[in-house]
Structure 1
Amino acid sequence: MIERYTLPEMGRIWSDAHKYEVWCKVEVEVLAAHAAAGTVPADSVEPVRNAPPPNAKDVDEIEKTTQHDVIAFLTAWADNTTPREAAAYVHFGMTSSDLLDTALAVVLTEATDEILSKLNNLIGVLRDHALEHKDAIKVGRTHGIHAEPDTWGHRVADITFALARSRDRLLRAREAVGVVAISGAVGTYSNIDPDIEKQVAENLGLKPSPVSTQVIIRDGIAEWVNALAIIATVLETFALEVRHGQRTEVRELQEPFGKGQKGSSAMPHKKNPIISERLAGLARLVRGYTTPVMEGIPLWHERDISHSSVERIALPDASITVDYMLNIATRLASGLIVNRDRMIANLESSGGLIYTSVVLLELVDAGMSREDAYALVQGAAMETWNTGTPFRETLRTAASVAGKTLDEARLDKVCEPQRYVDRLAGTFERLAELS
């Protein structure tokens, strides 16, 4: 991922320097477990443990010849080991994927924990925002058209619960990727005891894979990337609400706009929803990684490396992008301006058409058939659409033509926005309990 969208801690997690630190840690854990089991000399452990991780440039230089990154790493690290002979027992009984998949599990869980920290924070911010605006009456919209009254807090609550479910998915995916395989060339433990794998997994705070071939099958990694893609898409859902709400014709919402900020190089009046649009664009990128990662599940026989090149790009980029998205989404939610007056003005702009559903039910309750009541209300509504005459007037006229008398006092009572949202209390009670 480019530097523009890479936050410092997530960048560190996916850096080459940290990768080699983790590779060294895995190799030391395997070596120490061998030594404890008596498989290798006990005095080989400390010299290797004390050897600093190799410089990435040194590894790259060696790889130009070996065309094999693990061998290049082992060679460069051996050069840092004193005495160098102690390095002879490094990687004992292992194959490259034992190191790669186990180290990747460490890095994936670290990246997940960083994302979870930001996700938890955003859930809290959105929860509090929704509760603050639980009574902010606005018009609900279906298909982009005014529907029934709603509240802004209700809409945000929906997104907040979706993010909470996304958090649960990511926690399950963390379990799926947090597995270790130290099982040898085709996963049969031909040159390494399964107890070594168990010990290494325990020391790393992970679990042994229940089975591996040469690699751990990639369904867990695919699950992890899909969990990130869902998070990104829920964030886009929030962004889409803001983008719509900030349109000039709507003006119910507005992104934070800082002192000195500029909206357009040509038009000084512009305040554009740039954070929301950035979230929308980046979500497309994260979703784009799901298919190539999924295609890493079927590999040839015990292993090929067609998944490797994909994962070197997709896994860091997907997690770095989601990490960044959570950061800017939190900034957006924290500074979002909610224009309640404009929400009321928009709600009233249709001349009362938003009350057709309750009027329909009132007419049915007064004894009309649903078909006749629907035709009467729709006819009055279309007249309001076409002429701008308030709905209650067109309704009164249509009822008179049909020989019906309206209970005006009853309609006054039911044609109130608050009537439509009175039963949302339970939703907000559940939201308040969300952590």
Structure 2
Amino acid sequence: LLIKESLEIVLNDLKELRTILKSLAKEHKYTVCIGRTHGQHAVPTTYGMKFAIWLDEIQRHIERIEEAKKRILVGQMSGAVGTMASFGEIGLKMQELVMKDLGLKSALISNQIIQRDVYAELMSILAIIASTLDKIALEIRNLQRTEILEISEPFGKKQVGSSTMPHKRNPIRSEKISGLARVIYSNVIPALLNNPLWHERDLTNSSVERVILPETFVLLDEMLKNMKKVLLGLEFFPENIKKNLYLTKNLIMAEPLMLKLTEKGMGRQEAHELVRRLAMKAFEENRGLLEVLSESKEAREYLTDDDLASLKPENYIGMAPQIVDNVIAYIEEKEKTEES
């Protein structure tokens, strides 16, 4: 029964977080930023894409919980070893009536206890949710680093960042979220170890569950509440977003440049090798890629001044806005289904 109530709290928190992320995805659908792979500048993306990815993931967590309820919210009163011998012929009916009154599904079969694979699944779902919050928090922490500073969690006017460094604006809420996630991850292993019990039951699971179940729900609730506060007060630094977008002096436009050359008739491998050489030259000479490109006779045989002028990071976000719209439409359809 406590699990039932706790899951409703988690679901409500997730739905509130979903609303916040949907709003951010809409607002920043066209906020172009640099995408990073392996920690390196890749090609442009949008903040709307980031938020929509997290939004889609939160929706899956809502669906995971709803789908798993039929396996998790199960009860039994089946006697010492599950046979209901002490209840006589009314055993099955009595269990069904009591569980119905409690709002639980009546177990099809059990021994003295509900089998602990049920709680192992529950703990795994809660840990997966924690991992998403950890992922979001980690992204915010990285993007708040002094060298990047594209976004920042909210920082109060009288908030103290460090006891010895007055200038610090530490991402303490995001760090707290990542820290608490580690505890939740560690609670999954004991839940798995609780499944193998002696014969019709022993007590090795009991003492563990009294710790890991309430602890995990409390910690996850704290993580969700902190994440909502972080996202609701998220600060953006447009100047830094644009600065980082152009930090490589258009080296990030190597891919669209290669595609443009191919479109104009150059062979794919030939275009790749030419752009690779030009990109390496631009990097070594600390010059802009388009500047080096404009001096290349090979490239200028295929590319006009208008072609070069069109090679801007803001123009290379593909179908990102439509993808974000698709996610938002999908989420809003799910919300309507929940209300009906």
Question: 1:84 is matched with which residue?
Answer: none
Q: Over residues 184-213 of structure 1, what are the superposed CA-to-partner deviations in whole Å (9 max), with x where a residue is unaligned? A: 010011112111100001100111111101
Matched, 1:234 2:143: no
Show the counterpart of 2:78. Answer: 183
SS in 1 for 2:42: strand
Aligned residues: 329
Query: Which moved further from structure 2: 366-375 or 356-365?
Result: 366-375
Per the alignment, residue 15 of structure 2 pairs with: 120
User: Which structure is richer in relative contact order (CA contacts within 8 A, separation 6 or more)?
Assistant: 2
Q: Is residue 346 of structure 1 aligned with residue 241 of structure 2?
A: no
Bigger mean CA deviation after superposition, 323-332 or 159-168: 159-168
Helix, strand or coil at the partner of 2:85: coil
Of structures 1 and 2, the larger Rg is shown by 1
Alignment check: 8 A CA contact 1:159 1:237 kept: no
Q: Does the aligned pair in 2 maintain the 1:151–1:421 contact within 8 Å?
A: no
Match of residue 187 from structure 2: 289
- 1:254-290 per-position Cα deviation (integer Å, ceiling 9, x unaligned): 1111121000111111101111111111111111111
Check the 8 A contact 2:96/2:106 in 1, yes or no.
yes
Q: Contact 1:127/1:432 (CA < 8 Å) preserved in 2? A: no
Identical positions, percent: 36
Q: 1:208 to 1:386 in 2, by over 3 A?
A: same
Matched, 1:389 2:292: no
- SS of residue paired to 2:137: helix
1:166 is matched with 61
Structure 2 residue aligned with 1:37: none
Amino acid at match of 1:417: E
Gaps of 5+ in 1: 1-105
Is 1:133 the equivalent of 2:133? no
| 8 Å contact kept, 2:26–2:48 | yes
Q: Which residue of 2 aligns with 1:380?
A: 278
Residue in structure 1 matching 2:314, options 392, 396, 417: 417
Q: Deviations over 1:74-124 (max 9, x none)?
A: xxxxxxxxxxxxxxxxxxxxxxxxxxxxxxxx1111111111111111111
In 1, the alpha carbon distance for the partners of 2:306 and 2:207 equals: 71
Consecutive unaligned residues in structure 2, runs of 5 or more = 336-340
Q: 1:361 aligns with which of 254, 259, 265?
A: 259
**2:86 aligned counterpart, secondary structure:** coil
2:297 equivalent to 1:400: yes
CA displacement 1:374-397 (0-9 Å, x = unmatched): 111111111222222010122233
The alignment partner of 1:289 has SS state of helix
Asked if 2 retains the 8 angstrom alpha-carbon contact of 1:149 and 1:421, the reply is no
Separation of aligned partners in 1, 2:53 and 2:223: 19
CA distance in 2 between counterparts of 1:225 and 1:403 reads 60
Q: Deviations over 1:154-190 (max 9, x none)?
A: 1011011101101111222333221111110100111
How far off is 1:403 after superposition? 8.1
Computed over aligned residues only, the root mean square deviation of the Cα atoms, in angstroms, reads 1.6
Give the residue type in structure 2 aligned to 1:125.
I
What SS does the aligned partner of 1:148 have? Answer: strand
Q: How far apart are residue 425 of structure 1 and its match?
A: 1.6
1:323 is aligned to 2:218: no
User: 1:315-372 CA distances to partner (integer Å, 9 max, x unpaired)?
Assistant: 1111110011000000000000011221111101111111111111111222222222
Over 3 Å counting, the alpha-carbon distance change for 1:175 and 1:140 in structure 2 is: same
Aligned partner (choices 306, 318, 322) of residue 204 of structure 2: 306
Deviations 1:16-57 (A, max 9, x none): xxxxxxxxxxxxxxxxxxxxxxxxxxxxxxxxxxxxxxxxxx
For 1:300 and 1:267, locate their aligned partners in 2 and report how far apart those are by CA, in whole Å: 56
Map Cα deviations across residues 110-163 of structure 1 (whole Å, 9 max, x no partner). 111111111111111111112111111111111111111111111011011101
Please state whether the residue corresponding to 1:420 is helix, strand or coil.
coil
Alpha-carbon offset, residue 415 of structure 1: 3.2
What letter corresponds to residue 425 of structure 1 in structure 2?
Q
TM-score, length-normalised on structure 1? 0.73
- Cα distance, 1:423–1:150 mapped onto 2, change above 3 Å: closer
Given candidates 19, 40, 44, the residue that maps to 1:145 is: 40
1:257 corresponds to 2:155? yes
Cα distance in 2 for partners of 1:128, 1:433 equals: 14
Q: Is the 8 A contact 1:187 1:214 kept in 2?
A: yes
CA gap 1:386/1:137 in 2 versus in 1, 3 angstroms: same
Q: Distance in 2 between matches of 1:140 and 1:297?
A: 43
Q: In structure 2, how many angstroms separate the alpha carbons of the residues matched to 1:124 and 1:402?
A: 48
